[in-house]
């Protein structure tokens, strides 16, 4: 049974039982504790935490997930993978343990001919939490299994929590016995022998303190008991397909087969190579799915994870002996298999492949650069008579230059060197610990939404947003939140969060800043609204200061949005859509929006791009959007299903959460996107759009800053005044300014070159006088000179020139110390005769360096250094004579 069929049967099984099929959420969700969705229940967390009311009582999903803490173990076991799909069924206060067990057991054991998965009951073992007698009785009743087939396990294995105070509960797992080849009989800790593939969480407890996975307090029972199950799709796939691990299932093994062809090596012949083949299969798929959901390679957070996955895949192919670009050969294989379910992989392939292949190209360049740095490091080790590359050198290669440790090990062995792996691992562990400490510091940042939930529940329906049609409206105060709790009233000077039953105020979201304005109550109280947010679904909260009077629930309210601010922001939002469309026309479908901010009169637009945008493209995009402004196209919004929106050609943005019904905003028939923001009535109302420039904000992401409307007009007016001033000063017409400025710059450069020639000539002219005035210290000609105003380059030039003028058949020493811009430069230059007498430029610089607040060094013939204390230059020059006298006499 192929993976797609396993997935289909899972969803159909629960849909027949009244579960609402919920599509997979994006891998990227707004959660302070998570880089990626790492479990099937994550999109449902607001329901389990009581932050939001679920729109259904039972649901089923097949959720995309990524877990990366065990990335180093990928390929070494049958269990560790980065990207995986988690099948789950959920009950929100509906059915509980008995029905959850019935549903799972039925699907698992029903024959394939009858729509089940057809597992052999004789090989299945339920596990329960050791203190959950109720679950034991239910497993016996439903399955008919004897008592010795039900494993009792402790908190570590069979009690679930999120690691923070909140819901928790015992769980039951369905294990399959894979036989004596994988471990001892009855040893349930041998995970390869008794492999868990489905976990049923019975969410029944309220945890008041969670100190660790096995150390927590149970405050009481939850008011509503919930079910959260998780079934690993890949595990069921390899168990039903008769293969040994997840890497060999139908959607992954074709990548290994292609890697075999490319490398000439055979899967199954060598353990180390097998691990590399599996890493390739896993990381190619994981990287592709992350890019599909909007992640781009970078040096931080999500971008760093993606970069690491891509580079590990490329590196593994290199270790398999394949050194040509690998991703263009491998990733299309993964696309074709995963694209059977995730059709957007085909639709968005140009962007996905461009990002992936560009990162491989960059990594190949990194390998070349890292090889040069590695060569220098090994040369230093050998010159020092060593045989081991230090751990800090290996760590610097890895951390600073992106050079993988296994390649360092491989290349060091080729050079006859070992690597201090223990030191490297220690530094890596220290880095990981810092990351864990940082993550732990962020742990528990779940927003306390109890006050908002209380207000929302008391209303019984969502706040009605009327801001698309009007900027003023009448409503009533339905709740007041202050200090984290619901309050009855507030007075002048108080900072409060006001909830109205209906409001024209737009809550920040989708890149659009919140509205501001005023709320006036029936009793004369006035509030200044400075921010608007939606902390839980269906609730719009006005953050405000009470200016006058007393605010109380139940009072009628008149809400008035700052009209000019709203119009200005709306123009910016419409301009963002237009610029997005124009960039996709100019650069191709890969130029997909990666973020935005729509503020009054200005906007910021981030998009995917492999390099800087040429000035000609920027000019073309600006001209294109301003042509659309002149066309005065109507801006319209329509409500439709997601399927209808996609069919209409509407763009959806990565990481955004959309419901079944979506709002599609169109600028004529030209630009069309899913969007919940406010917009201008037509493109003509934008007036003018001015792109200020573009820049990089990370690998593969560019940022455009722009102005729109009156802000753009004022900017252009200032530029016009500036151009006129320059034209008047330079006595040319505006269109002649570029040529005139170019001529002036060229003349300045030529003049600077002439000045430099004169300055160097003057400097060298002094060399003759210095050489002629050399002092005799025994047989040695010594020039020790102070050159005020001379920097490092000048000092070196002068020192070498003077040395060349001294008699070459006599020992000669030249030390010049210059001072310029608060810095001291020291250069010592010796001829061959001076070196033959045992004098060294390196020793002289080291002797005088501390006196001028610095240090330096070099070779016996020429050395240089620097410092910061010019007050002791004369003292330092006197030391030169003393040092020469000690050796040269």
* Three-class SS of 781-793: EEEEEEEECCCHH
344 domain-assigned: yes
Residues belonging to the binding site are 573, 577, 675, 679
- Pick the closest to residue 297 from 224, 363, 341 (CA basis): 363
CA 3, distance to chain mean position in Å, is 30
One domain, residues 533 and 629: no
In this structure, is the dihedral angle defined by the CA atoms of residues 610, 612, 616 and 622, taken in order, positive or negative? positive
User: Is residue 498 a contact partner of residue 480, using CB atoms and an 8 Å limit?
Assistant: yes
Q: Is 772 exposed, middle or buried (0-12, 13-18, 19+ CB in 10 A)?
A: exposed
Residues belonging to the binding site for Zn(2+) are 573, 577, 675, 679
One domain, residues 110 and 233: yes
pLDDT digits (tens, 9 = 90+) for 98-152: 999 999 999 999 999 999 999 999 999 999 999 999 999 999 999 999 988 999 9
Mean pLDDT of all residues in 481-494: 91
- CA–CA separation, 860 vs 831, rounded Å? 9
One domain, residues 709 and 780: no
- CA–CA separation, 675 vs 666, rounded Å? 10
7 domain-assigned: yes
Among the three residues 558, 583, 611, which one is the final residue of a domain in this structure?
558
* Residue span of the structural domain in which 84 resides: 3-244
What does the pLDDT read at residue 183? Answer: 83
Question: Which helix (H) or strand (E) covers residue 622, if one does?
Answer: helix 615-631
- DSSP conformation class of 529: E
Among the three residues 506, 538, 558, which one is the final residue of a domain in this structure?
558
Bridge partner list, 176 = 124, 195
642 domain-assigned: yes
Number of DSSP helices (H) and strands (E) in the chain, helices first: 25, 35
Q: Is 144 exposed, middle or buried (0-12, 13-18, 19+ CB in 10 A)?
A: exposed
Domain with residue 622: its CATH number is 3.30.980.10
Would the pLDDT of 447 be above 90? no
DSSP of 177-235, one letter per residue?
Answer: E--GGGS-TT-TT-TTTEEEEEEEEEEEEEEEEEEETTEEEEEEEEEEEEEEEEEEHHH
pLDDT digits (tens, 9 = 90+) for 668-696: 999 999 999 999 999 999 999 999 999 98
Q: Which two tokens stand for residue 253?
A: 């093994």
Would the pLDDT of 444 be above 50? no
In this structure, is the dihedral angle defined by the CA atoms of residues 660, 666, 669 and 670, taken in order, positive or negative? negative
Would the pLDDT of 442 be above 60? no
In this prediction the pTM is 0.68
What does the pLDDT read at residue 78? Answer: 67
pLDDT digits (tens, 9 = 90+) for 37-68: 999 999 998 888 877 888 899 999 999 999 98
pLDDT digits (tens, 9 = 90+) for 36-45: 999 999 999 8
C-beta neighbour count of 377 within 10 angstroms: 19
User: Is residue 104 a contact partner of residue 138, using CB atoms and an 8 Å limit?
Assistant: no
232 Ramachandran zone, left/alpha/beta (phi>0; psi -120 to 50): beta
Strands 495-500 and 472-482: antiparallel
- Pick the closest to residue 104 from 200, 2, 188 (CA basis): 200
One domain, residues 174 and 87: yes
User: Is residue 203 a contact partner of residue 227, using CB atoms and an 8 Å limit?
Assistant: yes
In this structure, is the dihedral angle defined by the CA atoms of residues 48, 52, 55 and 61, taken in order, positive or negative? negative
Question: pLDDT band for position 517 (50/70/90)?
Answer: very high
pLDDT digits (tens, 9 = 90+) for 364-423: 888 877 777 888 888 888 888 888 999 888 888 877 766 777 778 877 887 888 999 888
One domain, residues 33 and 102: yes
User: Is residue 151 a contact partner of residue 175, using CB atoms and an 8 Å limit?
Assistant: yes
One domain, residues 468 and 380: no
Torsion of CA 36, 57, 98, 204, to 10 degrees: 60
One domain, residues 381 and 471: no
The residues, any chain, with a CB within 8 Å of residue 823's CB and separated by 6 or more, are 791, 792, 866, 867, 868
The total number of structural domains in the chain stands at: 5
Question: pLDDT band for position 290 (50/70/90)?
Answer: very high
Question: pLDDT band for position 529 (50/70/90)?
Answer: very high
752 domain-assigned: no
Q: What percent of the chain has pLDDT over 70?
A: 96
- CA–CA separation, 80 vs 71, rounded Å? 8
Rg (CA), the chain: 36
436 domain-assigned: no
- Pick the closest to residue 186 from 174, 197, 194 (CA basis): 194
Q: What percent of the chain has pLDDT over 90?
A: 56
748 domain-assigned: no
Would the pLDDT of 446 be above 60? no
pLDDT digits (tens, 9 = 90+) for 166-178: 889 999 999 999 8
Among the three residues 558, 585, 620, which one is the final residue of a domain in this structure?
558
- CA–CA separation, 270 vs 273, rounded Å? 5
One domain, residues 512 and 536: yes
- DSSP conformation class of 262: H
Q: What is the mean pLDDT of the chain?
A: 89
One domain, residues 635 and 696: yes
423 domain-assigned: no
- Pick the closest to residue 555 from 517, 516, 583, 523 (CA basis): 523
Would the pLDDT of 453 be above 90? no
One domain, residues 65 and 190: yes
User: Is residue 168 a contact partner of residue 207, using CB atoms and an 8 Å limit?
Assistant: yes
Domain with residue 512: its CATH number is 2.40.30.130
One domain, residues 570 and 549: no
Domain with residue 165: its CATH number is 3.30.930.10
Question: pLDDT band for position 813 (50/70/90)?
Answer: very high
What does the pLDDT read at residue 644? Answer: 87
One domain, residues 678 and 811: no
């Amino acid at each position: 049974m192929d993976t797609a069929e396993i997935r289909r049967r899972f969803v159909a099984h629960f849909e027949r039982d009244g579960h609402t099929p919920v599509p997979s959420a994006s891998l990227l969700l707004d959660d302070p504790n998570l880089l990626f969705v790492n479990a099937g229940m994550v999109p449902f967390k607001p329901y389990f935490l009581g932050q939001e009311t679920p729109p259904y009582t039972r649901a089923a999903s097949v959720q995309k997930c990524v877990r990366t803490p065990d990335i180093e173990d990928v390929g070494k076991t049958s269990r560790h993978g980065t990207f995986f799909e988690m099948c789950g069924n959920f009950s929100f206060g509906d059915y509980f343990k008995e029905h959850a067990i019935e549903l799972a057991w039925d699907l698992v054991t029903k024959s394939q001919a009858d729509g089940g998965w057809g597992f052999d009951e004789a090989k299945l073992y339920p596990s329960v939490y050791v203190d959950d007698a109720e679950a034991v009785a239910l497993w016996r009743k439903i399955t008919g299994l004897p008592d010795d087939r039900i494993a009792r396990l402790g908190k570590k294995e069979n009690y679930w929590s999120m690691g923070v105070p909140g819901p928790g509960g015992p769980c039951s797992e369905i294990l399959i016995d894979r036989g004596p080849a994988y471990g001892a009989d009855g040893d349930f800790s041998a995970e390869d022998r008794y492999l868990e593939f489905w976990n049923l969480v019975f969410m029944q407890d309220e945890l008041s303190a969670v100190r660790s996975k096995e150390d927590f307090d149970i405050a009481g029972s939850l008011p509503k008991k919930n079910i959260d199950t998780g079934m690993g799709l890949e595990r069921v796939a390899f168990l039903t397909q008769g293969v040994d691990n997840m890497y060999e299932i139908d959607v992954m093994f074709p990548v290994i087969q292609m890697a075999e062809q490319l490398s000439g090596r055979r899967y199954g012949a060598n353990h180390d190579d097998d691990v590399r083949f599996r890493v390739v299969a896993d990381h190619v798929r994981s990287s592709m799915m992350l890019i599909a959901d909007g992640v781009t390679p970078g040096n931080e957070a999500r971008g760093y994870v993606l970069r690491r996955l891509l580079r590990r895949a490329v590196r593994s192919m290199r270790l398999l002996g394949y050194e040509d670009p690998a991703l263009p050969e491998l990733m299309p294989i993964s696309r074709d298999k995963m694209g059977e379910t995730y059709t957007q992989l085909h639709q968005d392939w140009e962007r996905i492949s461009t990002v992936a292949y560009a990162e491989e190209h960059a990594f190949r360049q990194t390998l070349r650069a890292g090889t040069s740095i590695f060569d220098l490091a090994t040369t230093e080790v050998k010159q020092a008579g060593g045989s081991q590359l230090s751990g800090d050198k290996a760590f610097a290669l890895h951390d600073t230059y992106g050079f993988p440790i296994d390649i360092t090990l491989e290349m060091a062995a080729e050079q006859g060197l070992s690597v201090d792996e223990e030191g490297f691992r220690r530094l890596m562990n220290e880095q990981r610990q810092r990351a864990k400490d940082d993550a732990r510091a962020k742990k528990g940042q779940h927003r306390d939404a109890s006050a908002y939930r209380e207000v929302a529940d008391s209303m019984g329906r969502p706040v009605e947003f009327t801001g698309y049609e009007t900027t003023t409206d009448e409503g009533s105060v339905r709740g007041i939140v202050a200090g984290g709790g619901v309050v009855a009233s507030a007075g002048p000077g108080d900072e409060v969060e006001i909830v109205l039953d209906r409001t024209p105020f737009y809550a920040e979201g989708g890149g659009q800043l919140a509205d501001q304005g005023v709320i006036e109550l029936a009793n004369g109280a006035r509030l200044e609204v400075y921010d608007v947010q939606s902390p839980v679904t269906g609730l719009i909260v006005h953050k405000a200061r009470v200016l006058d009077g007393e605010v109380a629930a139940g009072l009628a309210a008149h809400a008035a949005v700052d009209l000019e601010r709203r119009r200005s922001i709306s123009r910016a939002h419409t301009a963002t859509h237009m610029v997005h469309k124009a960039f996709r026309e100019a650069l191709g479908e890969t130029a997909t929006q990666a973020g935005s901010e729509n503020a009054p009169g200005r906007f910021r637009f981030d998009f995917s791009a492999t390099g800087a945008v040429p000035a000609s493209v920027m000019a073309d995009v600006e001209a294109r959007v301003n042509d659309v402004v002149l066309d005065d196209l109507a801006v319209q919004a329509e409500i439709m299903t997601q399927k209808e929106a996609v069919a209409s050609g509407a763009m959806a943005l990565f990481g955004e959460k959309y419901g079944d019904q979506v709002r599609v905003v169109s600028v004529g028939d030209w630009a069309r996107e899913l969007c919940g923001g406010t917009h201008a009535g037509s493109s003509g109302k934008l007036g003018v759009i001015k792109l200020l420039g573009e820049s990089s904000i990370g690998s593969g992401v560019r940022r455009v800053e722009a102005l729109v409307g009156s802000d753009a007009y004022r900017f252009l007016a200032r530029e016009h005044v500036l151009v006129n001033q320059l034209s008047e000063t330079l006595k040319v017409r505006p269109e002649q300014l570029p040529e005139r400025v170019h001529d002036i710059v060229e003349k300045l450069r030529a003049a600077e070159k002439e000045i430099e020639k004169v300055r160097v000539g003057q400097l060298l002219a002094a060399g003759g006088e210095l050489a002629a005035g050399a002092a005799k210290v025994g047989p040695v000609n010594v020039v020790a000179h102070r050159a005020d105003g001379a920097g490092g380059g000048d000092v070196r030039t002068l020192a070498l020139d003077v040395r060349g003028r001294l008699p070459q058949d006599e020992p000669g020493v030249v030390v010049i110390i210059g001072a310029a811009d608060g810095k001291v430069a020291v250069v010592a230059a010796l001829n061959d005769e001076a070196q033959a007498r045992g004098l060294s430029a390196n020793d002289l610089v080291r002797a005088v360096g501390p006196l001028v607040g610095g240090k330096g060094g070099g070779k016996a013939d020429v050395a240089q250094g620097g410092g910061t204390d010019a007050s002791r230059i004369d003292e330092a020059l006197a030391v030169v004579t003393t040092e020469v006298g000690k050796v040269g006499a």
